[in-house]
Chain A
């Protein structure tokens, strides 16, 4: 990913890379609304027909930020290849049993899986590049603070992979179902 373009995307929203996903979302929606509403602040900036391009470019900036958090490799993996092997070893493939029901309480299930594997929120955040706050919201099933479904789905998959859930698809679907019921 182009580091400079990413920086520029943050800048457009008046943010820096340490902003939370929530902040990114808020800034994105605010700016989108500002252009869409043809408000006093923006109407003279856009000529007829410019709006769709403007909105697309905003969307692209937003997507770029989300993707950078989703798919980037943890830095330690690249810097220390031998540690990666160690990581593999200690990411045990032990089958752990937890008591939460992945269908009813997928958030709690993820939390218990994480704890069973002796991982902190911070460990998972590092591995998945998802913000600790987002992870906590997933565990608590706090739907108000989570990103749009398309990204949430990606987050959940990453989370499942990090804590080695046996049947991630089933958990993701259950979580998404609860999410759409709640919002």
Chain B
């Protein structure tokens, strides 16, 4: 399984992005679609996977009818692999794995099935894969978020969204911690530490890390090193231009101090009425309003997160001109 985020994609393996964020309705699916569209339009082969348990609806964002093949077929073994249920979309370089009828199947997904699916995701013939995770902090959501190269946290500038995001972050952190422990064969250490901490009312990863290092410096340091790799990205969506310009940085600061988690700020996406218009027209915003503030902000995020792709395109377009 891929626990490390190797973003310099030397291999032919796709870069896997997971989009989560705790709260429902903040814009995960909209952003997920837009990120994929943006890279697809640059000529990158992209796949969006609808991994939302309760409300799979990515096909609608892409203006597609109810898909014939979904993740259900995979889990019920009607097909051999993920690749068999890849659907073309109306857009070049963009494919979809739909989850429409997979609600129950996803909810009952066994750990083995999940790990198998993750392996298959990394084996898909694509440059970028986007997992739309849906709301909540269930183990399914957490495990996909951890497995991805880039974990993107989408929030809105509201107290409830931010509160949920912190809850989500903490949940991912502890889930990942348990995995690291298991791999190092020291689950016991953390269990005792965690249990005492919970009873003692200490709540942050930072406190736990300090405690672990004290109990067993060698193991504690090894764990800390691995956990330092955990660095999710943050997108503030539906921002009001003036009021929310510093919110993302402030959240990153608070996460660093309070949880000891380094959150990278990917960017801010403005609230834009065209998002709703395009949703109602069942066309992606980037297709319908490629120059809208929303599209601009998403493209800025993509540029920031894929500097190499950007450079590569410049190289190609200069070469074409010559």
Contact = CB atoms under 8 A, between A and B. Distances in A.
A43 B256 contact: no
A143 B138 CA distance: 54
A45 B166 contact: yes
Of the four ranges (under 10, 10 to 19, 20 to 34, 35 or more), the interface on chain A belongs to 10 to 19
Contact of B254 (A11, A13, A42): A42
B162 interface: yes
Contacts of A122: none
Interface in A1-52: 4, 8, 11-14, 30-31, 34, 39-45
A14 B163 contact: no
Given A40-B157, A40-B159, A40-B162, A34 B254 contact: yes
A31 B159 contact: no
SS of B interface (majority): helix
A34 B162 CA distance: 15
A14 to B, nearest CB: 6
A12 B257 contact: yes
B271 interface: no
Interface stretch (B76-84, B111-119, B245-253, B308-316): B245-253
Contact of B247 (A4, A41, A45, A58): A41
Contacts of A44: 159, 162-163, 166
A70 B159 CA distance: 41
B260 A40 contact: no
Of the four ranges (under 10, 10 to 19, 20 to 34, 35 or more), the interface on chain B belongs to 10 to 19
B253 A14 contact: yes
B210 to A, nearest CB: 8
A31 B257 contact: yes
Contacts of B254: 34, 41-42, 45
Nearest to B228: A11
B257 A41 contact: no
Contact of B253 (A8, A31, A40, A43): A31
A41 B260 contact: no
Nearest to B201: A47
Contacts of B247: 40-41
B258 interface: yes
Contacts of A30: 253
Nearest to B210: A8
A151 B210 CA distance: 29
B256 A12 contact: yes
28 contacts: A8-B206, A8-B210, A11-B256, A11-B260, A12-B260, A13-B257, A14-B256, A30-B253, A34-B250, A34-B253, A40-B159, A40-B162, A40-B250, A41-B162, A41-B247, A41-B250, A41-B251, A41-B254, A42-B250, A42-B258, A43-B159, A44-B159, A44-B162, A44-B163, A45-B166, A45-B254, A45-B258, A58-B257
Interface of A: 4, 8, 11-14, 30-31, 34, 39-45, 58
Given A14-B253, A40-B159, A41-B247, 14 more contacts: A8-B206, A11-B256, A30-B253, A31-B253, A31-B257, A34-B250, A34-B254, A39-B250, A40-B157, A40-B247, A41-B162, A41-B251, A42-B250, A45-B258
Interface of B: 157, 159, 162-163, 166, 206, 210, 213, 247, 250-251, 253-254, 256-258, 260
